[in-house]
Amino acid sequence: MKTPRTLAATAVAAAALLSGCASSPSYNDSYGNNGYRSGYNNTASMGYGVIESIQVTQADGARTSGAGAIVGGLVGALAGNQVGSGTGRTAATVAGGVAGAAIGNNVEKNRNAGGGQEMYQVNVRMDNGEYRTVVQDNVYDLRVGNRVRLVDGRAYRY
């Protein structure tokens, strides 16, 4: 019986397809928010400045880990494998895996969307006259007017 080999091949194919679906957050390193430059991708940056404002924001949309897509893909592939025989079964297995991955990813995204994480947008006027914005998950003891040091996209009291 070749079902275990077919299931193993389906699982490998689904994992290979889904690994291309994983994404990491992309941040814009431009002057798009009131003249402040975003410090997300500038990991080598370090500088000193003064906090001009702190705003509470919600995290950008719901991010997914890919677990929903993987589980959905496997369930869809297993369900598709139960349909037909021969090349029809193979096609149904692949189609079920792709559809299941899409559905699983959407389920995970919708589940994560309800609890949007609070983030803090810290706008800093640097000593060299440049303006930078950093977004971080907490501000601890940072207040408007504090002198700060920016390291790796985070503001630290100086």
Point out the domain boundary residue: 81, 97, 115. 115
Model pLDDT, residue 65: 79
Q: Are residues 66 and 109 in the same domain?
A: yes
What is residue 41's predicted lDDT score, i.e. its pLDDT? 43
Question: By the 8 A CB rule, do 37 and 49 touch?
Answer: no
Residue 142 shares a structural domain with residue 85: no
pLDDT at position 109: 78
Q: What's the confidence (pLDDT) of residue 42?
A: 44
Residues 55 and 68 in one domain: no
Residues sharing a CB contact under 8 Å with residue 137, sequence separation 6 or more, in sequence order: 117, 118, 119, 120
Looking at the structure, do residues 9 and 83 belong to the same domain, yes or no?
yes
pLDDT for the residue 27: 43
Please indicate, yes or no, whether residues 16 and 92 belong to a single structural domain of this protein.
yes
What is the DSSP code string of 112-158? Answer: HHTTPPEEEEEEEEETTS-EEEEEES--TT--TT-EEEEETTEEEE-
**Shared domain check, 93 and 125:** no
Hey, which residues does 57 pair with through a beta bridge?
Answer: 119
Clarify whether residues 72 and 18 are in a common domain. Answer: yes
41 and 4 both lie in a single domain: no
pLDDT in tens, the chain (158 residues): 455 566 556 555 655 555 555 444 444 444 445 555 554 444 345 799 999 999 988 766 566 778 888 998 899 889 888 887 888 888 989 998 899 899 988 888 777 665 567 889 999 999 999 999 999 888 888 999 999 999 988 999 98
Residues 93 and 157 in one domain: no
The answer on 146 and 70 residing in a single domain is no
Range of the domain at 151: 31-61+116-158
List the CATH number of the domain containing 154.
2.40.50
The predicted pLDDT at position 31 comes to 44
